[in-house]
């Protein structure tokens, strides 16, 4: 059985995980949402096609997405140090996670926005709506359920990445599972950590789907 | 009434596709008078939708002018164009409502675009919903409505931006005949009540017949014929127009032999038993191959295709009789047949 110290460690790990994943998701969207919008708007068939902008962002997104996360983690150490002042700990974990999540989130936002019926966009244009109005009141508003499903997926993915950050001295449950469970072979710490991570993903998945279903007005 | 609200001059539009350049509109010119209900008819692929999209510049023409209310749309800045578009409403075949907004918020949408406060916009929106008879559905969502109700919401939404022109792109093509009739009646009412000029795009002659005063026939991107609806029904000049007016009669033509005449009835003569009288007086049987009489804007319009006896003397006598009655039988054997064949393509 776990002793009190170990239980406290796991609870603190859970707290750290929530902080890391929460901040990473939020900052991931701060970068990824505008990225996704620009990708959707400037692509062929978008409301303001621009080949140069689209191709450039498309390339950057793909490059960042193809980086194995563990490599990105190491490559970004100077950047992380410049932003949070050190290369380990909770803050240091968030920086590479945001870089990994933003292009992924951008792609999901792009695909959600592209699902919006072209006819509805055309109708808005015929009513004299400008591009800003179309982006916020048509594209994002009409795609909201799809965007929320995307956010749920993003959360789960970032949670998975956060465990890897443990390998380079980041914090959180994933880190505990690797350090105590894997490196020191302590299954009594490994398994509770893993199970809590699984439950966390399940919980957010259910909440995300519930909300998106509730917000969807397309059903009778 | 003769003031033109929309003028299209030498309009060309081509698309670059994978198979090469595709000409959608070829040197189209037309003028639409204020407060008119103007129909544009043609088969699918004739370029009707492209033409109507050029009228609010959802589609940029390759060359030519689009003058709405005296302003050439192509010369406007984006901001000016958006302002102009608010005066040119448009409704669509698939309604294109915002699915995540309630009915009332759909109608309030153009008012929000115009910068009105949400509460104020909703109040105004309710008035327009009342105008289309849907105020009890204000808080429903589009997914809960029938096709006809959705189109009514779309019409209310367009009215909310107080347009001078309403473009209807196959607005009744997804609706059943009964609902089509009620939507057309609503459009007619809007035309009369608000003085909105209406442009109707359709492939159905019955829609033209029901509400349009003027009509243009589009074929392969060219405007082949235009005039009043009565003229088109009474005496279609081009093969395409004849085909549209006589649609449904092609299969009969296969059976025809020898001489066939087309007789147009116009106004009161459609109510006289003309055919009966001819048979009685000439003592010659005639075969009615096709008949279509209907009411166009209050006037009776009728068309018949009659097969005459093979005996030329008897046939000529019948033709003479029609002429005496002031009707103008036209031997249409060849061109109606060719129009019929054309339809197989």
Place of tokens 């909770």: A90
Under 8 Å between Cβ of B224 and B46: no
List of chain A residues whose C-beta atoms are within 8 Å of the C-beta of residue B114: 128
Q: List Cβ neighbours of B112 (8 Å cut-off, separation of 6 or more).
A: A133, A137, B118, B121
Distance in Å, alpha carbon of B29 to nearest chain A alpha carbon:
22
Give the Cα separation of B98 and B109 in Å (integer).
9
B88 touches chain A (CB under 8 A): yes
pLDDT reported for residue B265:
75
Residues across chain B: 345
Judged against a pLDDT cut of 90, whether residue A140 lies above it is answered with yes
As given in the structure block, the two tokens for residue A110 are 């792009």
pLDDT reported for residue B344:
38
pLDDT reported for residue A136:
96
Distance in Å, alpha carbon of B80 to nearest chain A alpha carbon:
10
pLDDT reported for residue B220:
93
Q: Which domains does chain A have, with CATH numbers?
A: 4-212 (1.10.3720.10)
Q: Which domains does chain B have, with CATH numbers?
A: 4-235 (3.40.50.300), 246-342 (3.30.70.260)
pLDDT reported for residue A169:
72
pLDDT in tens, chain B (345 residues): 468 999 999 999 999 888 888 899 999 999 999 999 999 999 888 899 999 999 999 999 999 999 999 999 999 999 999 999 999 999 999 999 999 999 999 999 999 999 999 999 999 999 999 999 999 999 999 999 999 999 999 999 999 999 999 999 999 999 999 999 999 999 999 999 999 999 999 999 889 999 999 999 999 999 999 999 988 887 888 888 888 887 655 544 444 456 778 887 766 555 667 778 778 877 777 888 777 777 666 666 777 888 887 777 888 888 888 888 777 787 765 444 444 444 433
Mutation for testing the A interface, residue in B85, B98, B160 having most A CBs under 10 Å: B98
Higher pLDDT, A126 or A160: A126
As given in the structure block, the two tokens for residue A90 are 């909770």
As given in the structure block, the two tokens for residue B79 are 């901001």
The band of A109, judged by pLDDT with boundaries at 50, 70 and 90, is very high
pLDDT in tens, B44-61: 888 999 999 999 999 999
Under 8 Å between Cβ of B5 and B14: no
Sheet holding B330-331, edge to edge: B287-296, B299-307, B260-266, B330-331
Give the Cα separation of B300 and B267 in Å (integer).
5
Judged against a pLDDT cut of 90, whether residue A92 lies above it is answered with no
pLDDT reported for residue B128:
96
pLDDT in tens, A14-46: 999 999 999 999 999 999 999 999 999 999 999
Distance in Å, alpha carbon of A119 to nearest chain B alpha carbon:
5
* B58, B84, B99 member nearest A217 (Cβ): B99
Mean of pLDDT values over A70-83: 89
As given in the structure block, the two tokens for residue B153 are 């919401």
pLDDT in tens, B45-101: 889 999 999 999 999 999 999 999 999 999 999 999 999 999 999 999 999 999 999
pLDDT reported for residue B187:
97
List of chain A residues whose C-beta atoms are within 8 Å of the C-beta of residue B156: none
List of chain A residues whose C-beta atoms are within 8 Å of the C-beta of residue B101: 141, 217
Q: List Cβ neighbours of B1 (8 Å cut-off, separation of 6 or more).
A: B33, B34, B35
Average pLDDT, chain A: 91
DSSP B63-103: EEEEEETTEEGGGS-HHHHHHHHTTEEEEETT----TTS-H
Pairing type for strands B71-72 and B63-68 reads: antiparallel
- Are the beta carbons of B110 and A128 separated by less than 8 Å? yes
- Are the beta carbons of A142 and B144 separated by less than 8 Å? no
pLDDT reported for residue B1:
47
Distance in Å, alpha carbon of B154 to nearest chain A alpha carbon:
9
Pairing type for strands B4-17 and B20-33 reads: antiparallel
pLDDT reported for residue B343:
40
As given in the structure block, the two tokens for residue A87 are 């290369």
Judged against a pLDDT cut of 70, whether residue A220 lies above it is answered with no
- Are the beta carbons of B85 and A144 separated by less than 8 Å? no
Give the Cα separation of A183 and A37 in Å (integer).
43
Distance in Å, alpha carbon of A130 to nearest chain B alpha carbon:
7
Give the Cα separation of B266 and A62 in Å (integer).
69
Q: List Cβ neighbours of A147 (8 Å cut-off, separation of 6 or more).
A: A109, A112, A140
Mean of pLDDT values over A200-206: 92
B82 touches chain A (CB under 8 A): yes
């Amino acid at each position: 059985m776990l002793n009190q110290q170990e239980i406290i460690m796991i609870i603190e790990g859970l707290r750290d995980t929530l902080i890391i994943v929460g901040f990473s998701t939020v900052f991931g969207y701060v970068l990824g949402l505008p990225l996704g919008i620009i990708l959707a708007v400037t692509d062929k068939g978008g409301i303001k096609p621009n080949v140069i902008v689209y191709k450039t962002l498309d390339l950057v997104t793909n490059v960042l997405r193809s980086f194995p996360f563990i490599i990105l983690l190491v490559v970004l150490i100077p950047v992380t140090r410049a932003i949070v002042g050190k290369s380990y700990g909770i803050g240091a974990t968030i920086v590479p996670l945001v870089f990994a999540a933003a292009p992924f989130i951008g792609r999901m936002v792009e695909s959600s926005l592209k699902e919006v019926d072209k006819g509805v966009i055309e109708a808005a244009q015929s009513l004299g709506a400008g591009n800003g109005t179309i982006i916020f009141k048509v594209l994002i508003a009409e795609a909201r359920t799809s965007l929320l499903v995307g956010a749920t997926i993003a959360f789960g993915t970032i949670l998975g990445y956060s465990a890897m950050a443990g390998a380079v001295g980041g914090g959180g449950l994933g880190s505990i599972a690797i350090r105590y469970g894997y490196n020191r072979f302590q299954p009594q710490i490994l398994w509770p950590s893993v199970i809590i991570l699984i439950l966390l993903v399940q919980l957010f998945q259910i909440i995300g789907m519930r909300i998106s279903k509730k917000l969807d007005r397309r059903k009778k | 009434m003769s003031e033109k609200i929309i003028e299209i001059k030498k309009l060309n539009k081509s698309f670059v596709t994978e198979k090469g350049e595709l000409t959608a509109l070829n040197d189209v010119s037309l003028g639409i008078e204020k407060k008119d209900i103007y129909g544009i008819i043609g088969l699918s692929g004739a370029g009707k939708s492209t033409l109507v999209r050029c009228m609010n510049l959802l589609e940029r023409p390759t060359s030519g002018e689009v003058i709405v209310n005296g302003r050439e749309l192509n010369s406007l800045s984006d901001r000016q164009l958006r302002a102009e578009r608010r005066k040119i409403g448009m409704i669509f075949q698939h309604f294109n409502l915002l699915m995540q907004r309630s009915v009332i918020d759909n109608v309030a949408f153009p008012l929000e675009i115009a910068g009105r406060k949400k509460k104020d916009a909703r109040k105004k929106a309710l008035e327009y919903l009342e105008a289309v008879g849907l105020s009890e559905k204000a808080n429903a969502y589009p997914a809960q409505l029938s096709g006809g109700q959705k189109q009514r919401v779309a019409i209310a939404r367009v009215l909310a931006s107080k347009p001078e022109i309403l473009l209807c792109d196959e607005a009744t093509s997804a609706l059943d005949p009964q609902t089509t009739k009620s939507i057309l009646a609503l459009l007619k009412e809007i035309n009369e009540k608000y003085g909105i000029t209406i442009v109707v795009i359709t492939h159905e002659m019955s829609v033209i017949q029901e509400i349009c005063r003027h009509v243009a026939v589009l074929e392969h991107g060219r405007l082949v014929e235009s005039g009043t609806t009565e003229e088109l029904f009474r005496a279609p000049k081009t093969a395409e127009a004849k085909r549209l007016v006589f649609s449904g009669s092609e299969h009969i033509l296969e059976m025809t032999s020898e001489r066939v005449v087309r007789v147009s009835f116009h106004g009161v003569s459609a109510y006289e038993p003309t055919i009966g009288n001819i048979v009685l007086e000439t003592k010659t049987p005639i075969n009615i191959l096709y008949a279509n009489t209907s009411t166009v804007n209050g006037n009776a319009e009728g068309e018949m295709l009659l097969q005459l006896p093979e005996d030329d003397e008897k046939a000529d006598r019948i033709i003479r009789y029609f002429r005496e009655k002031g009707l103008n039988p036209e031997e249409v054997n060849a061109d109606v047949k060719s129009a019929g064949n054309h339809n197989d393509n």
